[in-house]
Copies of this chain bind each other. A is one copy, B any other.
Amino acid sequence: MGDSFFKQVSDFPLMLKAALAFSKELPKIKKPSAIYISGLGGSAIGGDLVKNYLRDKIAIPITVVRDYLLPSSIKKEDLLICVSYSGNTEEALSVFKSALEKGINIAIITSGGEIHRRALKEQIPTVVVPAGLAPRSALPYLLISLLKVLEKAEVLPLQDRAILEASKFLSARKKIYDTKAKRLAKKLIGKIPIIFSSVGTTEACGYRLKCQFNENSKATAHLCVFPELDHNEIVNLARLESAASLFLLILKDEEDHERIKKRIKITKELIGKSIKESAEIRSEGEGRLCRMLSLVYFGDLVTYHLALAKKVDPREVYVIEKLKEALK
């Protein structure tokens, strides 16, 4: 079960490197003063990761749009990047069509489908990535393509070195991560993971992990973000009634704000009586991109192994297909 899917999950580091080739033909794009990234699910999370990655590297606001509607604040001279792995996501198509009508600068990242056909017809800058993967497994392709579009729009300098270093580092960690992930997955059987992340640093990685628990492991997971969680969620976490089934996963990064590092420590102590089991997942490697991707890669492996340990198929997302059918 899931052998070829294991390749999709574990090839993450190789895919980062392979993705460098897909944007070779991408033309230069006019430098925008605001960036909007439209997508859903596996096609949107790359936008969140880019937003965290660039948080203090560029002075241009980035907004991720998980909606049918184009935000009312978007201007013609802004850049809308439509990400739809299948090319047929109805929400992304809806945003794309509105943007076309309004004459907004657009770039496309897709493997094909209707959005690709329209992009060809309208001569819109497009990165075409290989088809045939689960959308969530295509993240390395979609994420690197996003960085490439931003390079072409002169928003950020060439990222090839950081990408290649992350690819190399994570390739070298593959076996160790896999072993550690299998061990952690065993502890998570029958538990609801509570993920602690931090605003700007591990936030997008935390959301990726939550969604991978949903889709790969068929498990409910709960995402909390520092410092906001200390203003509401901590109240119930400190006095849970059915805490026996909860497992705290704390994502950590060296760039977490000093006060947030302190908050993590104190919050963990304050809820310790209520949630007894926990694990810390520290980002690893040189540079912010590598560290972020280390959290994503390790988390992906954990959720894959949790599926196997629970004896569910990590690839299967049958209910999404059923939903699409019913929506027709």
Contacts and interface: CB of A to CB of B under 8 A. Distances in A.
Interface string A13-34: 0000000000000000000001
A164 to B, nearest CB: 26
Interface in A206-224: 210-211, 213-215, 217-220, 222
A319 B68 contact: no
Interface residues of A toward B: which range?
Answer: 35 or more
A276 interface: no
B266 A234 contact: no
Interface in A264-313: 266-267, 269-270
Nearest to A319: B238
A162 interface: no
Contacts of A120: none
Given A61-B61, A227-B68, A320-B230, A266 B326 contact: yes
Nearest to A90: B259
B66 A228 contact: yes
Contacts of A225: 66
A2 interface: no
B232 A41 contact: yes
Contacts of A253: none
A89 to B, nearest CB: 8
Contact of A73 (B44, B60, B211, B218): B60
Given A66-B227, A225-B66, A239-B218, A320 B234 contact: yes
Contacts of A4: none
Nearest to A246: B220
A91 interface: yes
Contacts of A34: 61
A68 B257 contact: yes
A231 interface: yes
A63 B60 CA distance: 13
B232 A214 contact: yes
Contacts of A270: 319, 322-323, 326
A215 B232 contact: yes
Nearest to A227: B91
Contacts of A72: 55-59
A234 B323 contact: yes
Nearest to A231: B41
Nearest to A61: B73
A183 B211 CA distance: 34
Interface string A155-174: 00000000000000000000
Interface string A25-55: 0000000001000001110100000000001
Given A34-B61, A214-B232, A259-B327, 6 more contacts: A62-B73, A66-B228, A220-B222, A222-B222, A231-B320, A263-B327
23 contacts: A34-B61, A41-B228, A42-B232, A55-B71, A58-B73, A59-B73, A61-B63, A67-B199, A68-B227, A68-B259, A68-B260, A190-B241, A214-B236, A215-B232, A218-B236, A219-B236, A234-B319, A234-B320, A235-B317, A242-B245, A263-B323, A266-B326, A270-B319
